[in-house]
Amino acid sequence: MTDDPSHPAEKLRTAVVGATGYAGFELVRLLLRHPRLETPLLLARDGNSPAGRLDEHYPELKGQTPLPLEPFSWARLEDGGVRILFLATPHELSRELAPEALARGLRVVDLSGAWRLKDPRNRAVYAFEDQDPASARRWDAEAVYGLPELHRDSVRDAKLVANPGCYATSVILGLAPLARAGLIDRSAGVICDCKSGVSGAGKKPTSKTHFVEVAGNFSAYSVFGHRHTGEILEQTGLAAQELVFTPHLLPIPRGILSTLHVRLQRAVAAESIERLYQEAYAAERFIRLFGSGALPQIQHSLYTNHCDLGFQLSPDGRRLVVISCLDNLMKGAAGQAVQNMNLMCGFDEGAGLQ
């Protein structure tokens, strides 16, 4: 499907599995306002779940379009004329559902980490036990890493898009221009000091995300062991020993701020760094460049699909700090998923995201 002004716009039917989670609900909210989509079909994670409505989980939807939650069924997807399936599901379930969906002719946008990684050493952190290893290997190879600013042409033709992780998106977009220009002094290592709101941990409550533990607190976690590390390595070309990625939990609902510390191969001027980012991202509608010394803040990217980038260069021109901010539920999850769908369907890339 592509935009064609000579023909009436055909509306596309999508489905979401996992709409009751934070990212799933944000995704449904975006799909409902998308001008090229029918009301999405919402399916529970398994066929035994009782029927219900999404407004029972999110009362802010009361009085709007009825959004029934139906038990999962392949027949229901077929009967509903679904063409794009969004999986806002746990990694293991996405690993199970995606190959079957693809075999049935659906295109898939997966918000989990099931298909993001090409290197088996990086993927080992998930410890997947695939029912059909041959099929899994095929889709590991064919899945497209859904970061449009880096892989737009591949996303357009993809059958399976692996939506990037939220931390990974913020770090990769911040480092990519430097990595591609060969400016990073890899012998000095890159330090990614990243902070996220609590919604990044998902909706399922844990002792670490309890209000009493989070409010008035600030903590590091998954040091040298976070699942997004492999994404950063694969997309920037850095080796594991060249990267320190430390995530932290902020006592706020949503948002990410990543502080990226880079030593440069040679002394450069701030104007050169600014020009490098302009060449990489000036045409990107969802990247906002703040320029030298103007540093983004979480509050400015909340509830948008933007990634905000700014930097500060040391007086000697060799040490660079890049600040990258985004909303972990939008550009870090649901917004990016819609951006990818727009590319896959030939819609305007910003449809439903303005």
Catalytic positions, please?
Answer: 166
Number of CB atoms found within 10 A of residue 87's CB:
29
Q: Which two tokens stand for residue 264?
A: 């440069």
Measured distance CA(160)–CA(171) in Å, rounded: 23
Q: Which of 9, 23, 67 is nearest to 43 (CA)?
A: 67
Q: Take residue 3 and report the two structure tokens written for it.
A: 């935009």
Torsion of CA 60, 64, 69, 73, to 10 degrees: -140
Residue with tokens 């007086």: 315
Check residue 253 and give left, alpha or beta (phi > 0: left; psi -120 to 50: alpha): alpha
Tell me which residue of 317, 331, 184 sits closest to 262, measured CA to CA: 184
- Nearest-CA neighbor of 297 among 309, 287, 286? 309
Q: Is the dihedral of CA 281, 282, 285, 287 positive or negative?
A: positive
Q: How many CB atoms lie within 10 A of CB 266?
A: 8
Question: Residue 80 in 3-state DSSP?
Answer: coil
**Which of these, 222, 162, 229, 161, lies nearest to 192 by C-alpha position?**
229
Whether 352 and 33 have beta carbons less than 8 Å apart is answered as: yes
- Please report, for residues 9, 32, 127, the alpha-carbon distance to residue 38 in angstroms, rounded to integers and kept in the order given: 12, 8, 37
Looking at 7-88, list the stretches that DSSP marks H as alpha helix, in order from N- to C-terminal side: 22-32, 74-79
